[in-house]
């Protein structure tokens, strides 16, 4: 038969072991949750980098921006009607646009790299690179509403085929 002091010691040991096991399991769960959060933040930054690169490429394709003008820091979004006093002056996002001639006539190989620099350390948090063949247009020419060859031909023929 077990005496009372030994029985109390066994119960105390059992409680200490269960508390230790509980603390170790909670530590493991908290570590896994922290890694999941960091992974989610990294995925979000990568998605934002891809969005910035695709936006820059679309603006170049549409002729809204020149590759040389679009390189540099990405300005924070602002609305003229709404004044945000607590908006940051810098986003930390940068664009690097590089163009090179391609083997195809009239097409230029455009590479857009969007990356985010940590404002404190200067390290790159996320980066996304996009390469595409683009027909670069004259940025300064605006031909909307002007007559083209088809309109001119239809006017000269009196509108009849």
In a domain, 2, yes or no: no
In a domain, 121, yes or no: yes
Structure confidence by residue, pLDDT tens digits, 95-147 = 999 999 999 988 999 999 999 987 778 788 889 999 999 988 765 455 556 66
Q: Residue 52, Cβ neighbours under 10 Å: how many?
A: 23
E-strand stretches of 10-159: 72-73, 93-101, 108-117, 124-134
**DSSP H or E run through 5:** helix 4-62
In a domain, 133, yes or no: yes
Domain with 35, as residue range(s), is 7-76+90-156
In a domain, 161, yes or no: no
pTM: 0.66
Domain count, the chain: 1
CB 56 within 8 A of CB 138: no
Taking residues 10-16, report their average pLDDT.
93
In a domain, 55, yes or no: yes
Structure confidence by residue, pLDDT tens digits, 49-108 = 999 999 999 999 988 888 889 988 888 776 666 666 665 566 789 999 999 999 998 899
In a domain, 72, yes or no: yes
Which tokens in the block code for residue 132?
């595409």
In a domain, 82, yes or no: no
Q: What is the pLDDT of residue 111?
A: 95
């Amino acid at each position: 038969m077990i005496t009372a002091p030994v029985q109390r010691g066994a119960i105390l040991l059992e409680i200490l072991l269960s508390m230790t096991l509980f603390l170790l399991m909670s530590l493991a769960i908290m570590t896994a949750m922290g890694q999941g959060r960091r992974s989610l933040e990294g995925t979000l930054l990568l998605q934002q980098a891809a969005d910035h690169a695709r936006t820059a490429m679309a603006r170049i394709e549409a002729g809204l921006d020149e590759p040389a003008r679009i390189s540099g820091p990405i300005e924070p979004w602002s609305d003229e009607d709404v004044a945000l006093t607590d908006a940051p002056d810098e986003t930390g996002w940068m664009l690097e646009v590089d163009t090179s001639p391609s083997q195809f006539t009239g097409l230029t190989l455009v590479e857009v790299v969007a990356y985010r620099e940590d404002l404190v350390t200067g390290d790159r948090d996320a980066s996304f690179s996009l390469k595409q063949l683009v027909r670069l247009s004259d940025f300064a020419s605006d031909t909307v509403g002007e007559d083209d060859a088809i309109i001119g031909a239809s006017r000269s023929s009196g509108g009849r085929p």
